[in-house]
Amino acid sequence: METEYIIVDPLKPDQNALKKGARLLQQGEVVAFPTETVYGLGANALDVQAVKKIYLAKGRPSDNPLIVHVADREQLIPLVKEVPEKAYDLIDKFWPGPLTLIFPKSALVPGEVTAGLDTVAVRMPKHPVALALIKEANVPVAAPSANASGKPSPTEGKHVWADLNGKIPLVLDGGATKVGVESTVLDVTGDLPLILRPGGVTREELQSTIGPVEYDPGLTEKKVPRAPGMKYTHYSPEADVVLITGEAKERKEKMKRLFLHLTQEGKKVALLLSEETQKEMTGQIVPYYQEVLGSRQDLSGIAHRLFSAFRNCDLSGAEIILIEEFSHQGMGAAVMNRIRKAAGGVQDAPLTIDMGDLDD
């Protein structure tokens, strides 16, 4: 399949490009497009055969539910059985934006979209290209991230091209995404709203709007995924990712020791660091590749750069990525969720290395 690549100005989207994308969606094809979080790979959510093309292009397991994107509230109503009062409060506050809500699904939504669940995930993206495309197509659009399954989510059009060129008919490149990590997924079907995936809207922001909100236990347990991104290993670059934990001084020492051990073994080691840690380690070690994610005081900036940094490490040829732990508060919850899943649960040392042996 030949993939067409069209650059679209978000401030003044090319109507011809939008009409082309909309026609493809209406004809049962898939289209990659930008949102404010990451790039999505969309298909008509009500067309079973079109939805199957998403799974095929990504190599995505069919037991992983998809998010349905809508352009206005009117598109939401036919997709769900009911909209709880708290959900309306959240919609008023955060839509359009990086918040996905879980509702009881209506019979209109195919089981292929929800992975057989009786609930459906819906959001309204805050990106002019995404909204214009959905409006032009006049269908709800099921869209996971537009990457090969399991790999870092794409935050630029070139990332989509690297993963899906030859597998989909069209990529609409609207520039770099603003948020850089996926939307927050919140289940509002019960009395106590549960975060199934932390993302672009923080728990603190949700609680200031509707009161108590908790994290779902499934975030840390290997269960059937109730929302995208709940599988344990996800967002992973080709290189092995190792999370370095602990207080600032302890993290720095752990990273230095593990770096020296791995480089002595001939490994190509990349470091992903905060500005603060990078300044402290300057001149102490020389990594194969290094990228500064931003200040520890700017977790939104770190989220914005994270997936791109993973991809840059792969492009450098690095074999192992050492990345430091960040705060778990605010946007840090989304950052640490993505890092832990990229690392597949490995922290402080690869499974084949005993940190206690590094003093020898």
The pLDDT tens digits for 6-16 are 999 999 999 99
Q: Is 295 annotated as a binding residue?
A: no
Are 34 and 169 within one domain? yes
Q: Which two tokens stand for residue 176?
A: 């770099």
29 and 165 in a single domain? The answer is: yes
143: annotated binding-site residue? Answer: yes
Asked whether residue 252 falls in the same domain as residue 215, the answer is no
**145 belongs to an annotated ligand binding site:** yes
DSSP assignment letter at 80: B
Determine if residue 226 is labeled as part of a ligand binding site.
Answer: no
Q: Is the pLDDT of residue 230 over 70?
A: no
Orientation of helix 128-137 relative to helix 15-26, angle to 10°:
50
| For the chain, percent of residues with pLDDT exceeding 70 | 92
Rg (CA), the chain: 20
Q: Is 263 annotated as a binding residue?
A: no
Question: Does the annotation list 308 as a binding residue?
Answer: no
Domain count, the chain: 2
Pair 79, 166 in one domain: yes
Q: Which domain holds residue 80?
A: 4-219
| CATH number assigned to the domain comprising residue 317 | 3.40.50.11030
To the nearest 10°, the Cα dihedral for 121, 198, 341, 216? Answer: -80
Kindly state whether residue 226 falls inside one of the protein's structural domains. Answer: no
Binding site annotation covers 203? no
CATH number at residue 114: 3.90.870.10
Note the pTM of the prediction, 2 decimals.
Answer: 0.93
| Arithmetic mean of pLDDT, 45-53 | 98
Whether residues 278 and 183 share a domain: the answer is no
- Within this chain, do residues 249 and 349 fall inside the same structural domain, yes or no? yes
Please check if 296 is assigned to a binding site.
no
Same domain, 176 and 57: yes
234 within some domain: no
Q: Determine whether 11 is exposed, middle or buried from the number of CB atoms within 10 Å of its CB (0-12, 13-18, 19+).
A: exposed
To the question of whether residue 69 is assigned a binding role by annotation, the answer is yes
pLDDT digits (tens, 9 = 90+) for 242-298: 999 999 889 989 999 999 999 999 999 999 999 999 999 888 888 999 999 999 999
pLDDT at residue 351 is higher than 60: no
**165 is known to lie in a ligand binding site:** no
DSSP structure class, residue 108: T
pLDDT digits (tens, 9 = 90+) for 115-151: 999 999 999 999 999 999 999 999 999 999 999 988 9
User: Was 37 annotated as part of a binding site?
Assistant: yes
